[in-house]
Amino acid sequence: MIDFQTQPDRYRHWRLSVDGAVAFLTMDVDENGGLVEGYELKMNSYDLGVDIELYDAVQRLRFEHPQVGAVVIDSNKERIFCAGANIRMLGQSAHAHKVNFCKFTNETRNSIEDANEFSGQRYISAINGTAAGGGYELALATDHIMLVDDGNAAVSLPEVPLLAVLPGTGGLTRLVDKRKVRRDLADVFCTLEEGVRGARAVEWRLVDETVPNSRFVETVKSRAGELAADSDRPTEEQGIALTPLKREFTEGGVEYTHLSLSLDLQLRVATLVLKGPTDGAPDGLKQLKRQGADFWPLALARELDDVLLHIRTNETDICTLVFKTEGDAESVAAYEALLQEHAEDWFVREIILFWKRTFKRIDMTSRSTLALLDQGSCFQGLLAELVFAADRAYMLEGQLEGDARPAAGLRLSEFNFGLLPMSNGLTRLQTRFLGEPESLHRSRRSMGETLDAARALEAGLVTFAPDDIDWEDEIRLLLEERASFSPDALTGMEANLRFAGPETMETKIFGRLTAWQNWIFQRPNAVSDKGALRLYGSGVRPEFNHQRV
């Protein structure tokens, strides 16, 4: 089983150090520290295990180090920044692992950009040598790229000429969308095995500046200090320790403090039950911070994030994710009100941003997603967003015989109208009602009201509302039908339907680049016995089928 939980004293590949308002994330990959056997992580090349540590470090910098306004990503290897994704690992991995590896790496790069834009933590890449493929893609995710000017250091995206694949973590999109590199120059750059160095790298906007080797360390620190000085991060606040999650893996799923996962392997269904708070909301910001990682919204977000990654990587036969909630909607609303009241505080801001990123992980999942609103549920505001993230939502009308719990209700809040945007820049309700602006306005007017099944259905907020007689049969037939379809067709269908509206750099990276990268990863030109990915480093030229498809 691949575990996404780690902490700095367990890192094998990164070193995190903090000097006042500047943090240093130093890459020093253990060659023998691969996630599985069969390859060595030479030249700071990486696999999923390296990225798991990076993701953890980025999260901890946001929550545990509020004083940090700038983060330098550098390397402890001489004349090597990062050689990118390990080619031997890619060559031997199953297709599903390659896809999930690329997706998680994309999400981690996006979390760096999210910190740049919204958290007041500006990231700098200090490239001290070779930055190839995924190594340069890591640099592209940062806000400022510095390249040592020593006549040898270069940036490159050599996947096309060397491996017959593409840069799989947003490199092409970030070149032209983010750094505004001219299309013709980007075409040249992506076909140069040796890459681009020095003044040309600056001229083509591949990096922001070059610095002589003699002044490189000094200039990096100076630039980081300048960026940190512009940050709104608090300098006197105590950080919030991200303590280890309490988890129990059982034969049928995983139990967390605020979330339960149960698996039905026959129907290939994973049911996630998110539990509302059992205690009243803290009395103000000081008490909120004293709860730290146990504060219900943060604790639940961490558990949901972890279980989504667990299902994605370790439960690959699962077809459908079912989201349910249980608890008191008023208690959820009280916690929401506290978050909204203190939304400008750095810690509360980070919690809301964490929920935004976690919901995006749901959007990007290659599983069917369903929300079931039944008795005793608490789909209020923040948790109601699960309804709009799901491919379909079913709400029970009335009550089941012998069940005394309250009837299902749905209640909207400000969290559904701008605090948790999708990758397309719209809220999930805006995306849902792209052709029905009047439905969006009507939904906003109902904010704060508890909608029963009939009203929620009329408002277009749920897909169907079966009564107590039909509920169990309809849900059973729905899950059986979903499990009978081609998983490939479902993945394509869902990915196309979820992102109506404008396209952004983020939707391009996932919807366009990642899709094509995944397709190329299956083509014989790359992965057959005579393909470029398999033959890399052997001295034997690959054999290509030259038909364009």
- The pLDDT score that the predictor gives to residue 511 is 79
CA distances from residue 353 to 232, 298, 347, 348, 543 in whole angstroms, order as listed: 16, 10, 10, 9, 47
Whole-number pLDDT of residue 296: 98
Q: Looking at residue 95, what is its pLDDT?
A: 87
**Distance of alpha carbon 367 from alpha carbon 239, whole angstroms:** 36
What is the distance between the alpha carbons of residues 248 and 262, in angstroms, rounded to a whole number?
12
H or E stretch at 144? strand 144-149
Query: Domain coordinates of the chain in residue numbers?
Result: 12-229, 248-497
Single pTM value for the model: 0.96
pLDDT tens string 205-239: 999 999 999 999 999 999 999 999 999 999 999 99
> What pLDDT is recorded for position 58?
98
| DSSP letter assigned to residue 46 | E
pLDDT digits (tens, 9 = 90+) for 67-92: 999 999 999 999 999 999 999 998 89
d(CA 140, CA 8): 24
Alpha-carbon span 154 to 83, nearest angstrom? 11
Query: For residue 260, with 0-12 CB atoms within 10 Å meaning exposed, 13-18 middle and 19 or more buried, which class applies?
Result: buried
* Calpha distance 58→63 (Å, rounded): 9
* Residues comprising the chain, all counted: 549
Q: Do the two domains 12-229 and 248-497 of this chain adopt the same fold?
A: yes
Residues in CB range of 143: below 8 A, 6 or more apart: 116, 122, 123, 124, 227
CA distance 314 to 268: 13
- The Cα 18–Cα 22 span in angstroms is 6
- C-beta separation of 242 from 96 below 8 A: no
Phi, psi of 416 (to 5 degrees): -95, 0
pLDDT at 179: 97
Contact yes or no for 323/371 (Cβ under 8 A):
yes
Which parts of the chain have pLDDT scores under 70? none
Q: Are 391 and 497 in contact (CB under 8 A)?
A: yes
State how far the Cα of 335 lies from the Cα of 330, in Å rounded to an integer.
Answer: 9
| Secondary element (H or E) of residue 25 | strand 22-27
Q: What are phi and psi of 517, to 5 degrees?
A: -60, -45
Which residue, 235, 237, 231, 239, is CA-closest to 60?
Answer: 239
Q: Class of the 12-229 domain?
A: alpha beta
Which SS3 state, helix, strand or coil, does residue 534 take? helix
pLDDT at position 276 is 98
Cross-strand bridge partners of residue 19: 22
Given a contact cutoff of 8 angstroms between Cβ atoms, the answer to whether 448 and 412 are in contact is yes
pLDDT value of residue 389: 98
pLDDT tens for 141-154 read: 999 999 999 999 99
SS3 assignment, position 529: coil
Q: What is the pLDDT of residue 195?
A: 97
Closest-CA residue to 354 (of 407, 425, 428, 301): 301
Architecture of domain 248-497: Alpha-Beta Complex (3.90)
